[in-house]
């Protein structure tokens, strides 16, 4: 089964388009985990990240189709963090969650293949070292930097999400520049659609997804149409300002074809008063689960 | 001393603008190292990569100003590879070589800061987990994705190299698109120059360097002028087709202000007949040294 087929099936099975972003930060961990860290040592922080992310995975398994670990926060801890990232991905695989590693990688030729080899593929015998089902990639180096990723997707039933229109305030600096009436993000969207051709599953989806921020609702509508074969990964919901009405435009008529990421609002839900977490924050996992159910409900509408 | 000051001083001290690209690949390692690997196990390959890169560093220390490990080839081995990357960088630090990690990272806001924290800074007390002096970064996410890197550069006397005009055949797909008579790579070059302002050292260089491929000689001349405050990192010399005359355009009137990368031609020099390596490839380090001296001579002219 291809990556797109699997992800759309997981959306329909869970009745959810929520993607839980795993962005651990030491200072925001629940108290029991923060206090388990000795002297701010990197290996000790990494162990706390592993426990934190694995407990989140246990809390949300069955409620959502996928999780998205943010590589940067693990890399920040050095090699110990990369060991943690591998453990977290493996735990999510075992819990039946699809894993999108957010690494925004890219390079040219055989170097791009090395990144694809490293991250893409969760199933034996082609399981990759990190074991994720998909990876986010940057398009600045052009078409020939994306093709090596797509070839590995073909072999390993994996996916990529190409940055098309990002959610940050300055995202438009290059992405919105307009060439003969066509913006850069529209050019990237065309490339994404071309790469999917000849790779479509029975529902018309291919392995090349796209990142489109919820913070630009008009472009989300436009890009949903421009990339009919792409699953959209939509960041920027909630904390960054995108509303539920905004992001529903990303889904297809089956309510699939897109996943909406939330990181802080879910993983640090113990900081949200509405979930009445105990003073010692020992029941923080309940808040994670409640925040996930709440987001699922918001996105149904 | 800032990153730019240090790198220019190292260029003048060694009389070389050669940057040795550390791109290890199992199948191309010299025989003694290839044969040391047990059953293709990733930890065993990683140990061979560490030994290979550290011996290259020993062979070229004093001959060149800097080395550029390619993160992708280490990541391809999973966590064991990332341990190797850290060991290789630390060894290069100790050998007095400046280290540019080629990771082409980027993200937004605090996630960009996490990448900068992970890779930038080689000196105590601000040494980062990976300990490199500089990192390559991608500009697709816009100005606000580069600023967090520059702030960490300020604190840690580090540098970044922004992808401006890459050396691959398809690099122009986005980079050459022209908006009101200005190409995308020219827009990125302007951004690079703006980010350097107010951060210049006594020679007029700032922490924000730029990647400009040797395979586009006209653009190299143009971009040298457009980014007077940037050290240029020039890939594409030799194996990819850029000539010595082409790349000399990247240097300033002191013969500094640029480094020219070569990976395969130096690190796999044991495969080049002209260096008469023994059949058992036991003296492969001599070929590395000879290839480095040869490249230094070619670039002097």
Taking CA atoms, what residue in A is nearest to B102?
A107
Vertex B188: Cα angle to B182 and B191 (nearest 5): 110
- Please report the pLDDT score of residue A126 as a whole number: 87
Question: Nearest CA of chain A to the CA of B75: how many Å?
Answer: 6
Is B166's CB within 8 Å of A82's CB?
no
pLDDT in tens, A149-199: 999 999 999 999 999 999 999 999 999 999 999 999 999 999 999 999 999
- Peptide bond just before A132 cis, omega within 30 deg: no
Contact criterion met (CB below 8 Å) for B239 and B264: yes
pLDDT band at B301 (very low <50, low <70, confident <90, very high): low
Q: Which of B81, B88, B89, B104 is the best substitution to test chain A (most A C-beta atoms within 10 A)?
A: B104
Q: pLDDT at residue B186 above 80?
A: yes
For helices B284-300 and B42-60, give the axis angle rounded to 10 degrees. 50
Indicate the DSSP class of residue B159. E
Mean pLDDT, rounded, of chain A: 96
Question: Nearest CA of chain A to the CA of B217: how many Å?
Answer: 18
How far is residue B171's CA from residue B240's CA, in Å, rounded to a whole number?
A: 13
Is A72's CB within 8 Å of B112's CB?
yes
Q: Which of A76, A131, A169, A240 is the best substitution to test chain B (most B C-beta atoms within 10 A)?
A: A76
- Please report the pLDDT score of residue B241 as a whole number: 82
Question: Nearest CA of chain A to the CA of B67: how many Å?
Answer: 17
Is A144's CB within 8 Å of B73's CB?
no
Contacts of A120 in chain B (CB under 8 A): none
How far is residue A291's CA from residue A186's CA, in Å, rounded to a whole number?
A: 34
pLDDT in tens, B102-130: 999 999 999 999 999 999 999 999 899 99
pLDDT in tens, A97-110: 999 999 999 999 99
The phi, psi pair for A127, rounded to 5°, reads -60, 135
Is B106's CB within 8 Å of A138's CB?
yes
Is B72's CB within 8 Å of A109's CB?
no
State CA A137 to chain mean position distance: 11
Q: Which member of A42, A104, A197, A300 is catalytic?
A: A104
Question: Nearest CA of chain B to the CA of A170: how many Å?
Answer: 5
- Please report the pLDDT score of residue A133 as a whole number: 98
Q: pLDDT at residue A301 above 80?
A: no
Residue scoring higher pLDDT (B76 or A239): B76
B108, B130, B177: residue with CB nearest A78: B130
Contact criterion met (CB below 8 Å) for B107 and A263: no
Q: CB A7: neighbour CB atoms within 10 A? A: 26
How far is residue A123's CA from residue A86's CA, in Å, rounded to a whole number?
A: 14
Q: pLDDT at residue B239 above 80?
A: no
Contacts of B268 in chain A (CB under 8 A): none
Question: Nearest CA of chain A to the CA of B44: how many Å?
Answer: 14
Structure tokens at A165: 């229109």
- Please report the pLDDT score of residue B276 as a whole number: 87
Question: Nearest CA of chain A to the CA of B148: how many Å?
Answer: 13
Contact criterion met (CB below 8 Å) for B219 and B185: yes
Vertex B15: Cα angle to B12 and B16 (nearest 5): 105
How far is residue A53's CA from residue A37's CA, in Å, rounded to a whole number?
A: 15
**Mean pLDDT in residue range A232-249:** 90
- Please report the pLDDT score of residue A39 as a whole number: 80
pLDDT in tens, B85-104: 999 999 999 999 999 999 99
Structure tokens at B101: 């990690």
Contacts of A163 in chain B (CB under 8 A): 140-141
Residue A261: CB partners within 8 Å, gap ≥ 6? Answer: A19, A20, A21, A68, A233, A234, A235, A237
Structure tokens at B78: 């999973």
Contacts of B177 in chain A (CB under 8 A): 177, 179, 184, 187
Q: Which region among A32-41, A142-151, A219-228 has the lowest average model confidence (pLDDT)?
A: A32-41
Taking CA atoms, what residue in B is nearest to A184?
B174
Is A142's CB within 8 Å of B86's CB?
no
Name the helix (H) or strand (E) containing A14: helix A3-14
Q: pLDDT at residue A276 above 80?
A: yes
**Mean pLDDT in residue range A129-154:** 97
The phi, psi pair for A19, rounded to 5°, reads -110, 125
Q: Which of B23, B69, B82, B172 is the best substitution to test chain A (most A C-beta atoms within 10 A)?
A: B82
Check if the interface score ipTM surpasses 0.95.
Answer: yes
Q: Which of B46, B49, B76, B84 is the best substitution to test chain A (most A C-beta atoms within 10 A)?
A: B76
Is A142's CB within 8 Å of B174's CB?
yes
Q: Return the active site residues of B.
A: 104
Kindly list the domain boundaries of chain A, sorted by start residue: 3-300
pLDDT in tens, B131-171: 999 999 999 999 999 999 999 999 999 999 999 999 999 99
Q: pLDDT at residue B248 above 90?
A: yes
Contacts of B139 in chain A (CB under 8 A): 140, 174
Taking one residue from A and the other from B, the number of pairs with CB-CB distance under 8 angstroms is 183
How far is residue A45's CA from residue A43's CA, in Å, rounded to a whole number?
A: 5
Residue B44: CB partners within 8 Å, gap ≥ 6? Answer: B36, B37, B38
CATH superfamily of B3-300: Aldolase class I (3.20.20.70)
If we measure between CA atoms, which residue out of B220, B153, B142 comes closest to residue B187? B142
């Amino acid at each position: 089964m291809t990556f797109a087929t699997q992800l759309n099936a997981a959306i329909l099975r869970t009745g959810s388009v929520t993607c839980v972003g795993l962005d651990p930060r030491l200072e925001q961990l629940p108290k029991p985990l923060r206090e388990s860290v000795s002297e701010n040592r990197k290996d000790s922080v990494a162990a706390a990240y592993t426990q934190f992310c694995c407990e989140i995975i246990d809390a949300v398994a069955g409620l959502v189709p996928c999780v998205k670990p943010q590589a940067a926060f693990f890399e920040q801890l050095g090699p110990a963090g990369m060991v943690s990232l591998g453990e977290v991905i493996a735990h999510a695989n075992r819990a039946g969650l699809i894993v999108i590693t957010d690494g925004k990688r890219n390079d040219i030729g055989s170097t791009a293949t090395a990144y694809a080899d490293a991250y893409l593929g969760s199933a034996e015998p082609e399981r990759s070292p990190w074991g994720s089902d998909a990876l986010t990639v940057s398009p600045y180096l052009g078409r020939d930097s994306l093709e090596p990723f797509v070839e590995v997707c073909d072999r390993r039933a994996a996916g990529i999400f190409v940055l098309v229109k990002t959610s940050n305030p300055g995202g438009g600096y290059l992405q919105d520049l307009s060439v003969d009436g066509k913006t850069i993000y529209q050019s990237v969207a065309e490339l994404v659609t071309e790469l999917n051709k000849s790779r479509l599953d029975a529902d018309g989806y291919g392995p090349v997804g796209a990142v489109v921020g919820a913070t630009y609702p008009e472009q989300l509508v436009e890009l949903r149409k421009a990339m009919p074969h792409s699953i959209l990964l939509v960041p920027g919901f909630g904390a960054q300002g995108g509303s539920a009405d905004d992001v529903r435009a990303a889904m297809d008529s089956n309510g699939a074809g897109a996943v909406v990421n939330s990181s802080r609002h879910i993983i640090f839900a113990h900081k949200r008063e509405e979930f009445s977490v105990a003073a010692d924050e020992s029941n923080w996992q309940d808040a994670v689960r409640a925040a996930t159910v709440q987001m699922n409900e918001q996105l149904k509408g």
